[in-house]
């Protein structure tokens, strides 16, 4: 009997692994926004076209990356969040596995421009289907700017499973709202097809909730604060009449 087990090429393995992390445009936005927050950004701008199917841009003013780190960030299991297994028990970041950027780059055309505050010039990297196409020194603002084009362009069967734009946009809004609600100390904006959907300045939590949903919700918010020896909880809950007929709420 001939041997039938063989190793998959890296390109195929990367596409399969990417499917576990990136299911739709909302997944890309979630991962990039979380990376920006971990980079201590104070301003995060999200710009999407065709519900993220054509283009997703996430621009932040965080720490930025050196040229070496920028290139390494697209390698699977490359991360700045942990160095040893014990670090898993002291995580303070939103991500740590080092899979997000590698997964995105495996199934899309990606451009990154990034610069640390201490450097005069930054780095531009272009990757498509996990293949490096451009790496050069450029002038760019402090922080990082990601442009993700044509998601699943190299997996037509997977791209066909994307939902209509209205559905994909709702998925994006859900992820966006979840993140901005728990980070009122960061300013966010979201644009779709050149139309502003959200423009959220840094604000107290109560004001952020009102800005994301609606002003009349203000009177229906109840403050909650509980301190115990194990955990401290603070935030807001809505009165019963504030509930909506949506599965997400």
Q: How far apart are CA 121 and CA 172, in angstroms?
A: 33
User: Reduced to 3 states, what is the DSSP secondary structure of residue 159?
Assistant: helix
The Cβ of residue 193 has, within 10 Å, a number of other Cβ atoms equal to 13
Per DSSP, what are the bridge partners of residue 237? 222
pLDDT of residue 221: 86
Residue-wise pLDDT tens digits, 192-208:
999 999 999 999 999 99
Domain boundaries of the chain, sorted by first residue? 10-204
Residue located via tokens 């490359």: 78
**Which segment of 94-98, 101-105, 184-188 scores lowest on mean pLDDT?**
94-98
Does residue 170 register a pLDDT over 80?
yes
pLDDT of residue 89: 45
Q: How far apart are CA 228 and CA 74, in angstroms?
A: 42
**Which segment of 40-49, 102-111, 141-150 scores lowest on mean pLDDT?**
102-111
pLDDT of residue 238: 81
Instruction: Name the band, by pLDDT with cuts 50, 70 and 90, for residue 55.
Output: very high
How remote is the C-alpha of 89 from its chain's centroid?
A: 23
* Side-chain half-sphere exposure of 169, counting CA atoms within 13 A: 15
* Mean pLDDT value of segment 102-110: 93
Instruction: Name the band, by pLDDT with cuts 50, 70 and 90, for residue 222.
Output: confident
Helix (H) or strand (E) segment spanning residue 211: helix 205-212
Fold type of domain 10-204: Heat Shock Protein 90 (3.30.565)
Percent with pLDDT over 90 in the chain:
61
pLDDT of residue 15: 62
Residues 6 or more apart from 94 whose CB is under 8 A from it? 34, 35, 37, 38
pLDDT of residue 87: 43
* Mean pLDDT value of segment 226-243: 83
């Amino acid at each position: 009997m001939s041997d039938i087990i063989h190793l998959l090429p890296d390109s195929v393995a990367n596409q399969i692994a990417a499917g576990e992390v990136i299911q739709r445009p909302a997944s890309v936005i979630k991962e990039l926004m979380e990376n920006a927050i971990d980079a201590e950004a104070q301003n995060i701008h999200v710009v999407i076209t065709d519900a993220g199917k054509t283009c997703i841009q996430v621009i932040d003013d965080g720490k930025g990356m050196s040229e070496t780190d920028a290139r390494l960030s697209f390698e699977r299991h490359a991360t700045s969040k942990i160095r040893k297994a014990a670090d898993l028990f002291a995580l303070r970041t939103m991500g740590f596995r080092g899979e997000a950027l590698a997964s995105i780059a495996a199934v899309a055309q990606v451009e990154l421009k990034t610069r640390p505050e201490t450097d005069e010039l930054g780095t531009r990297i272009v990757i498509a289907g996990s293949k490096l196409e451009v790496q050069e020194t450029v002038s760019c603002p402090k922080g990082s700017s990601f442009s993700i084009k044509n998601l699943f362009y190299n997996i037509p069967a997977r791209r066909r499973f994307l939902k209509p734009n209205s559905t994909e946009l709702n998925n994006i809004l859900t992820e966006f709202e979840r993140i901005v609600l728990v980070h009122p100390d960061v300013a966010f904006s979201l644009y779709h097809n050149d139309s502003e959907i959200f423009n959220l300045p840094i604000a107290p939590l109560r004001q952020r909730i009102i800005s994301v949903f609606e002003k009349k919700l203000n009177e229906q918010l109840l403050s909650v604060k509980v301190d115990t020896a194990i955990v401290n909880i603070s935030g807001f809950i809505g009165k019963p009449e504030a509930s909506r007929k949506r599965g997400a709420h």
